[in-house]
Structure 1
Amino acid sequence: MRHSAPHSAAGSEGASDGRWARLAYTQLFRLLLPIMLLRLWWRGRVQPAYRSRWRERFGFISLPTAFRGDSVLWVHAVSVGETQAAEALIRALLAQDAALAIVITTTTPTGAAQVRKLFAADLAAEGRPGRLFHSYAPFDMPGSIKRFIGECRPRALLVMETEVWPNWLAVCQSRAIPAYLINARLSERSARGYRRIQRLAEPAFRAFTHICAQAGADADRLLALGARTEALSVTGSIKFDQSISLDDETLRQLVANEVAAERFTWIAASTHEGEEQLVIDVHARLLQQHPGALLILVPRHPDRFDRVDGLLARSSLSHVRRTQIPDQAGLVRTADVLLVDSMGELLYFYERSDLAFVGGSLVNNGGHNPLEPAALGKAVVMGDSQFNFADICSQLSGAGALLTVDRLSLEATVSSFAQTPGLAREAGEKGRAFVVANRGAIGRVCERILPGLRPPPATITES
């Protein structure tokens, strides 16, 4: 245990309740495992990568020789957004310790692809040395996690944002492996969900060696769920420090050739079911006043590309899919809509747009990251479902860089920016300045976690 003081009867009873809750959770996890595997196989119809590397999800990994010993750090990032946010932190940690090697896990194939894209030169592969190694994250079952940890023997675990797995944390705690929650955010809706399983959630949050929260509201919710006061800091969002690199000049030129600078161009990014039809209808009416306008439509999930293509085919608008170019270069210049059915290219389309609508916000999904378009100097529009980035959206709104709309006012807002392009440029510059002024979270996070990144003791006890 971390503290030597004796437990009170109530404390012992609470710990016992927590163990029973975790045992029940583990049994339920095992019962649901066939359904989870079937879901992976089903999703593999559209993304074949879901059907590969299943052994890794059970903790079977084969690390290169360089990843042996006590110099390994485990960083977990769920998918694309968390991986992007982790990039600057990972590079800072590698720079701090020349002997450090990092095993980075993701849950989704799109996250794996993002790792390959961001860290191509650093990834270890067969016959090639490197300081990074990717694996899919092990299932939260004691056998899987013990197998994974036994292979990589990490000196610490860094979990990005709020991915809390009770068995991961219990096994790390039993082996004296420090666990850190980085860039933690917790909406009120997520907090309500955790409160329903308080006996399971509280020991998990208490097990973190330190939690670096994005904002004060996140910290308050984490404390209410059991996080220890002395192990919690508000460090800001490391997404302000996220690298916005547009270093693929071939792709950059392709987008520039297709999206004419003289056209008013707005992008609807990371959209969900229920949003695409709305923005298609808005754009159809916008074209009556601004015939040259272009909509760049970027669905959030690849398995919905064909469905959105069908919506466009049934509309009055002409459209081109990103995968049709450059085979048929120049098509976008005469199209009303460009459907981006590719991954990892969003920043390049943000750069070429005048106005960015960030999706997941006109449906009750909490919205996606508005900092990327803001950092690129783009005016940002979102619906009022912003709980995933509530603090950041509030600050961007206060800086005059983000406008909140509803389904009725979206059309008028886009039309206003199309009518007066200078307004979009002004709001975009305010957003860019806001992002620059709020950088520095990486340094604050490193101050909290670097003292604990030391090799774990040799003596261990099983959970």
Structure 2
Amino acid sequence: MFLNLLYAAALTMLSPVILYRMFRHGRYRRGVGQKLFGLSRRRAAELVGDHRETIWLHAVSVGEVGLLPELVKRLARRSPDTGIVISSSTDTGYDLAVRLFGADQVFFCPLDFSWAVSRTLRNLRCKQLVLAELELWPNLIAAADGIGCPVAVINGRLSERSAAGYQKFAKLLAPTFSRLSAVGCQDVTTAKRFVDCGVDPTRTRVTGSLKFDNAPRSRETAEVAARMNWAGVDAWHRVWCFGSTQSGEEALALSVYRRLRQEHPELRLILVPRHPERFDRVADLITTSGDRVIRRSRNDSQYADQWESDEIILIDTIGELKHWWGVAHLATVGGSFGDRGGQNMLEPAGYGCAVSFGPNTKNFDTIAGRLINGGGAVRVADEAELEKFVRRCLDDIPAADELGRTAQSIVEEHRGAYDRTIDMLGIGNSRARQQRRAA
């Protein structure tokens, strides 16, 4: 009851911001009933279909949803008689999940009100709840535990700052951590943080990062070829993709690009903002400074057109960045020059791009460290260092290509997390389920 009151108070306090974003940007409008009241029996029946019970996978947004296709494929192979349903908390995550799995498997995750999560678990006939990375919702986890539904965390990551914050409220949150039946962590440090927050040490396992397994292996795919064709890329071009950008990073990229293209006319730029509500602003930023913008959403094809140096491609669509990294020779991962904490740098590394990112990669510290320490990526501090990196890659193409090949080899070395995660979950393995129940 206390948590319900706390959530209600927080929603009331935030309501002006929520209403502004609803009307200004169209956010939070969809799935309101599912979020506030949980899944109705009718909608749950559509999701469950002919199955007697389900595995519920929750992924908060686009990045986490992108980890699920391979996992869903393996779970379905292990337990073909069990339904698999996917929830997300954001519009972009929901839309990507629908694109990947179909609307008959996807719903909006309920807010952590006790009535909403209990109704959803009951109507889904959920036999296991799987949380991607960490969505710590006390009512949801308690409700699942109360009906004997194991709750597992996969690809677990927990920053030092977050762990310290959780421990400050240990009396409130430690019981939630203790209810987790299995936690697959990306590294030993993360596993220790989960234990310090209250997870039983016997229930933690270092499974590695699913992002290594999910990273691409080759540019020779239909998806990459179609985008190269659309953009008019030819063998002469050297393409620089700056992806998952936050406010301020597009201006940084444009500034560097305009200086370098004078001495390197072969250089071309692709910008991929992370948030849809910023697409128009970024387009205006490009045009007001004198360049032309080619918006992915508004052009059927650029095929056979000459991609001019003053034309900057803006990817104003969702779920395509993974393939656009494959078009690029040079890659800069956004969210790393401000306070965001970085984004996934393994996708461009898997393609063999010459990868760079900014000083703040707190959300991907382990991955960034492995790439840097192995000589597969470069961290730059500011605009000047970024310009120096891009110029060096253009002046010495063999060295840039070698940086990319090293990145690819590091990714290959760390694959295998899906196998370890499936083994941890024990789906379709009666002995593993018995061990988990005994624990």
Count of matched residue positions in the alignment of Structure 1 and Structure 2: 423
> Aligned pair 1:64/2:45, yes or no?
yes
Q: Deviations over 1:205-240 (max 9, x none)?
A: 111001111011111211221111111111101112
Shift of 1:324: 3.1
Name the counterpart of 2:281: 307
SS at match of 1:223: helix
Q: Distance in 2 between matches of 1:170 and 1:452?
A: 24
Structure 1 pair 415/336, CA: closer, same or farther in 2 (3 Å)? farther
> Aligned pair 1:255/2:231, yes or no?
no
Shift of 1:261: 3.1
Q: Distance in 2 between matches of 1:250 and 1:92?
A: 23
Shift of 1:67: 3.7
Q: Deviations over 1:89-124 (max 9, x none)?
A: 11111111110211110001111111122224xx53
State the AA in 2 paired with 1:406: A
Shift of 1:413: 0.6
Q: Distance in 2 between matches of 1:406 and 1:274?
A: 15
State which of 16, 39, 58 in structure 2 corresponds to 1:76: 58
SS at match of 1:273: coil
Shift of 1:75: 0.6
Name the counterpart of 2:94: 112
> Aligned pair 1:281/2:255, yes or no?
yes
Name the counterpart of 1:155: 127
Query: 1:348-367 maps to which residues of 2 (within 5 A)?
Result: 348-367=323-342
> Aligned pair 1:174/2:146, yes or no?
yes
State which of 221, 234, 238 in structure 2 corresponds to 1:264: 238
TM-score w.r.t. the length of structure 2 is 0.89
Structure 1 pair 77/36, CA: closer, same or farther in 2 (3 Å)? farther
Name the counterpart of 1:17: none
Q: Deviations over 1:371-425 (max 9, x none)?
A: 1111111121011211111111111112211101011311101111011122221
Stretches of structure 2 that go unaligned for 5 or more consecutive residues are 434-439
State which of 411, 414, 417 in structure 2 corresponds to 1:435: 411
Query: 1:163-242 maps to which residues of 2 (within 5 A)?
Result: 163-242=135-214
State the AA in 2 paired with 1:318: R
Q: Deviations over 1:257-283 (max 9, x none)?
A: 423331121111001112121111111
Shift of 1:60: 2.8
Name the counterpart of 1:25: 3
Query: 1:309-348 maps to which residues of 2 (within 5 A)?
Result: 309-326=283-300, 330=305, 332-348=307-323
Q: Distance in 2 between matches of 1:35 and 1:251?
A: 45
SS at match of 1:269: strand
Q: Deviations over 1:301-327 (max 9, x none)?
A: 011111112221232433322223226
> Aligned pair 1:419/2:395, yes or no?
yes
Q: Give percent identity, aligned residues only.
A: 32
Q: Distance in 1 between matches of 2:30 and 2:428?
A: 35
SS at match of 2:272: strand
Structure 1 pair 310/197, CA: closer, same or farther in 2 (3 Å)? farther
Structure 1 pair 265/376, CA: closer, same or farther in 2 (3 Å)? same
Q: Distance in 1 between matches of 2:144 and 2:428?
A: 14
Q: Distance in 2 between matches of 1:164 and 1:452?
A: 26
State the AA in 2 paired with 1:32: A
8 Å contact from structure 1 (residues 56, 138) kept in 2: yes
Shift of 1:39: 4.9
Structure 1 pair 347/303, CA: closer, same or farther in 2 (3 Å)? same
8 Å contact from structure 2 (residues 215, 350) kept in 1: no
Shift of 1:36: 5.6
Stretch moving more, 65-74 or 216-225: 65-74
State which of 55, 67, 70 in structure 2 corresponds to 1:88: 70
Q: Distance in 1 between matches of 2:427 and 2:226?
A: 45
